[in-house]
Amino acid sequence: MAPSLQHELRQTRPFPSLETEAALSVARTAALLDTEISETLKPHGLTPTQYNVLRILRGAGEEGYCRYEVGDRLVTAVPDVTRLLDRLEAVGLVDRARDPKDRRHVRARITPRGLRVLDELDGVMQELHRRQLGHLGEEGLRSLVDLLAAARERG
């Protein structure tokens, strides 16, 4: 059996509630998973958020997405999607152009170079996720996904 969060954090007093323990456990787990993801992406010059943007834009296809559409789809919200897109454009992973249907909008698209980076990373990231969570098994993973979805719903 895995050590309790209280033991892992070397906390001597019990948590004030089971809800507090659960919230802290989710936060601790997310931080550990994110650290591994960051370390895996670092040699490729990407942050987890930049990687997320590239995946979003790959899914957008030729149409691309406007800044706000990218922001709405991010796993972790960021305050300045424009600056994030600026950095990806500066290194040639994204390009942007005015939407011919509505000149007020600028659409971002993944470049061929960005697609190559994602092609390189697809297997690497799948293997990382298998190492991180595969030991839970299919039933455990399904339960985890369902519980986390219910926690996000709150209502």
Q: What is the pLDDT of residue 1?
A: 62
- Average the pLDDT over 96-105 and give the result: 78
* Cα dihedral: 151, 75, 73, 112 (round 10): -150
Identify the CATH assignment for 45-150 out of 2.40.30.170, 3.30.930.10, 3.20.20.140, 1.10.10.10: 1.10.10.10
How sure is the predictor about 3, in pLDDT bands with cuts at 50, 70 and 90? low
Structure tokens at 57: 């834009």
Class of residue 142 by CB neighbours under 10 A (exposed 0-12, middle 13-18, buried 19+): exposed
Tens-place pLDDT, residues 126-147: 999 999 999 999 999 999 999 9
- Average the pLDDT over 116-134 and give the result: 97
Long-range contacts of 130-135 (CB under 8 A, 24+ apart): 132/33, 132/36
Mean pLDDT (the chain, rounded): 92
Q: What is the pLDDT of residue 30?
A: 95
The domain segmentation of the chain, as residue ranges, is 45-150
Tens-place pLDDT, residues 13-58: 888 999 998 999 999 999 999 999 999 999 999 999 999 999 999 9
